[in-house]
Structure 1
Amino acid sequence: MNRNETGHRDPGVIEERIGYTFKDRSLLERALTRLAYTLEAGSPPDAHMDALATLGDAVINVAVVEAVIAEGAHEKGAISNRKMNLVNMTRLRGLAEDLVLADYVRWGKGEAAQRVWTSGRVLAECLEALVGAVYLDGGMEAAAGVLRRLGLTESV
């Protein structure tokens, strides 16, 4: 099992799976670090994924709307309905599960004990953070490319 010096799985595997190599590897590390972990580790206050998840959520919405329009949708209602069908917690969580993303996230001890990634929105947020990190590192084109490769916007 590819583990790095901290005992966590090597996040380079995630880069391979999403087809994107980070120029600034610290963004990938941040995207894979939960707030609870940073608090327990005494890490800097900006070393966790929360802001990246918020950014990633917005980036995903923009990428999906662009793809829907590019496929010929022109009416606001049709665009909104298609976006809602493509971007939801279940879909994003499924993409995160396909990446086996939970194995690469730095979880807080309580989160790990409770296996928080097995329910709710947690894995979807981790995927959003990853997309936010790609956006900051490579821009909208890079983020949209990752979403295409993951199958979110491949055939809207």
Structure 2
Amino acid sequence: MGMEIDVLVQGNKELLSELERIVQYRFTDLRLLQKALVHASFAFEQAQIGKNNETLEFIGDAVLDLVIGHILYTRYPEMKEGELTRLRAALVNETHLAVMAREIELGRFLFLGKGEDASHGRNKSSILSCAFEALIGAVFEDAGYEMASSLINRLFVPTIETKKEEMLIADAKSRLQEVLQEKHNEGPSYRLDLEEGPSHQKSFTISVMFRDEVLGTGEARSKKEAEQRAAAAALKAIAVSGDA
């Protein structure tokens, strides 16, 4: 990894130790952790082209896909392949990885070029998600699959159920449409029952109708989400009654 990373490690031992404490993992080779924190903009300014976190990010991305895939496969044996793929994508996309990075305060540990730092690079989702992947890659390189898997489990498992619920609600309208089309050859309609509150804090109550019957009702801050929640309630009711 070269002399330059060694110099950074020597000068930043306290900072690196603090991050180790937060993620509850102590590196055998601190140079891996240091490299995971070096953004391309910093390496470029230091004339150390290529001495950045991009290759560790590449490894981390693959490890995350594998470990999260395995967690989902084990936890939800009833889920179809397409659903598993979409749930994994919801957990391993830039937005969610940036949320995970913020939870461990990764932004303040990054080594950024002056321009990138000045333009709030420490809070950019693209930079944070890449650094998070690089951190996972560094743990994998330092200690192998089991250790990386244990860290990913600890960080991700609390959010998996929420993401699954969000995904099911987001999918509910299209799933309800499919169920009714298949059984009755026609789809549902949505009725706005109530719209209340000031413009910046509106609340919508919407019912999903089928042949003048209310199948389910949902309430949310947007019409779209209220419709999705109504459809989710309808699907639950249909599953309980065993009929559409």
What is aligned with 2:171? Answer: none
TM-score normalised by the chain length of structure 1: 0.86
Runs of 4+ in structure 1 displaced over 6 angstroms? none
- How far apart are the structure 1 equivalents of 2:10 and 2:159? 39
More strand by share: 2
Residue equivalent to 2:150 = 145
CA apart distance, 1:60:
0.7
1: CA distance between counterparts of 2:44 and 2:111?
A: 12
Gaps in structure 2 of 5+ consecutive residues: 1-8, 161-244
**Structure 2 length-normalised TM:** 0.57
| Aligned counterpart, 1:63 | 67
- How much does 1:52 deviate? 0.8
The structure having more radius of gyration, on CA atoms, is 2
2:55 partner letter: A
> How much does 1:23 deviate?
0.6
Amino acid at match of 1:153: V
1:106 to 87, 106, 111: 111
Q: In 2, Cα distance between the equivalents of 1:70 and 1:110?
A: 44
In structure 1, the partner of 2:195 is none
Two-structure CA RMSD over aligned residues (Å): 2.0
Equivalent of 2:46, from 41, 44, 58? 41
Letter in 2 for 1:51: T
Q: 1: CA distance between counterparts of 2:125 and 2:30?
A: 28
Distance 1:76 1:27 in 2: 34
Q: Gapped runs of 5+ residues in structure 1? A: none
Q: How much has 1:42 moved relative to structure 2?
A: 2.8
C-alpha spacing 1:19/1:86, structure 2 compared with 1 (3 Å)? same
Count residues in correspondence.
Answer: 151
Offset at 1:47? 2.4
Note if 1:94 corresponds to 2:94. Answer: no
Answer yes or no: is the 8 Å Cα contact 1:49–1:126 preserved in 2: yes
User: Which residue type is aligned with residue 88 of structure 1?
Assistant: N
Q: Give how far 1:5 is off.
A: 6.2
